[in-house]
Chains A and B, each alone.
Chain A
């Protein structure tokens, strides 16, 4: 008992995540109503799912016994093409991203250039690679070139945005110091901005290389080259052992790339 005669609390509850109780219960209610509506609108053909379970088990089992040899020429050609698309599209993408990134940083570019570059970035970010791939295949014809252009375009949105954010965060005193020595614009860029953003730019480029490889497996579905077409055929023929082999190879290459890029990043910093 304390002085005012109330008992001290003998139990404790953690404070709720959302403090306002009305808001909290409205949120819970909203989620329940939404879930009921959403699950109600799902149309599931349970017979089809039941039949599919058998195939699903077959697919999972295929991972224990992947078949690399049956379609090895298709797999190796597709993979090689995917890797080439990855390299070329990343290089082209970086080449375009750097000027756009410079233009999209507020502390470097005048307002019209800034708005123009931000517009390009927004356009590139809002559409999925596959939609752009469809358009590019329609325009440039089937083949890896459409895939390369797609991936380069997608790289711009990613790399320019993050590069511009990094340039906006640089230490301005270094830039000022170099400017005070009477450096020209190019020298100023090369000796005060570039060294500050270089480690992050390299890290981002390596990360994008990784993403571009993963995406290059997908753009093949719409005819833009790479391993995707082979994978699609394998699924269409229900050749799960070949599909498993392709998926395992993709996972292995992604893991290898992540491992290597970790080392390169550690070496640079």
Chain B
């Protein structure tokens, strides 16, 4: 127990002195780093605009209300596109992510030296790059439209689904796999009867969870031209039609709430 003596009296302390010093040093360097970064950022900031912000915020707020409800007739089709981008993108991602997950899981990968690192690299690359950047890339390659958004969503989702799925595969009960192998099953039969039944609930949960995230992400892909309700948002922002922006934000908010509710229901039903 860390106890120090002060004037002949033993005093309890929470930590040893060296540990306490390390923690103080970590705090000191962290604070210094923060202050340093903040100063550099502050140099690049037009503080005049910042002090003016409350007035501008109030101004924009007053322009945004009331929302232009009649604009909703033009929003149904982009909303349908947004849902399609998310759903088809998720399905496409599942098709690509499942093999990657089986290659990345330690207990199912056929080759740990070459194939597993490649699978892990695919997962990391897909996860590090935001779906907006993927769609920026795809819009410049295959042109603007719903398809670019769909592929962007699926490329971003591969890493997420494959990572969670391969962790689920690594956590399966090996006894069941052994039992199926002992009946003389082939490799494909072992996967079908020994592994898949064990990961199916996790798999369904992961897919629905990702679908929910994808609905959120697909609402903004239109900002870079990849279809969906983001296109309308961009168009309204460009002409400073703030009442329309409000309505679009409300539409996004409601669709996100609904998708969250659906995904929570489905995951609850599975588990």
Which residues from chain B contact A41 at a C-beta distance below 8 Å? 80-81, 84
Q: Of residues 93 to 131 in A, which have CB atoms within 8 Å of B's CB atoms?
A: 126-128, 130-131
Which residues from chain B contact A251 at a C-beta distance below 8 Å? 124-125, 128-129
Contact A88 B37 (CB under 8 A): yes
A138 to B53, CA, bound (A): 9
Contact B37 A52 (CB under 8 A): no
Q: How far is the CB of A24 from chain B (nearest CB, A)?
A: 13
Contact B41 A232 (CB under 8 A): no
Contact A59 B132 (CB under 8 A): no
Interface-lining segment among B66-74, B101-109, B141-149: B141-149
Contact B141 A141 (CB under 8 A): no
Q: Counting CB contacts under 8 A, is B220 at the interface?
A: yes
Interface-lining segment among B3-11, B42-50, B110-118, B170-178: B42-50
Q: Counting CB contacts under 8 A, is B239 at the interface?
A: no
Q: How far is the CB of B165 from chain A (nearest CB, A)?
A: 16
Q: Of residues 121 to 161 in B, which have CB atoms within 8 Å of A's CB atoms?
A: 124-125, 127-130, 132-133, 136-137, 140-143, 145-147, 150
Contact A128 B133 (CB under 8 A): no
Per-residue contact bits, chain A 32-67, to B (CB 8 Å; 1 contact, 0 not): 001100110111110011001101100100000000
Interface-lining segment among A3-11, A169-177, A180-188, A213-221: A213-221
Contact B57 A139 (CB under 8 A): yes
Q: How far is the CB of B262 from chain A (nearest CB, A)?
A: 13
A126 to B250, CA, bound (A): 11
Which residues from chain B contact A45 at a C-beta distance below 8 Å? 143, 145
Beyond contacts A45-B145, A84-B37, A214-B129: 19 other A-B pairs, Cβ-Cβ < 8 A, are A17-B204, A45-B143, A48-B143, A52-B141, A56-B142, A81-B41, A87-B34, A88-B38, A127-B252, A128-B219, A131-B219, A134-B223, A143-B45, A144-B45, A145-B41, A145-B50, A221-B223, A247-B129, A247-B133
Interchain residue pairs with CB less than 8 A apart (15): A17-B204, A49-B143, A52-B142, A55-B140, A87-B37, A127-B249, A130-B220, A141-B50, A145-B50, A215-B130, A217-B130, A217-B133, A218-B132, A235-B137, A251-B129
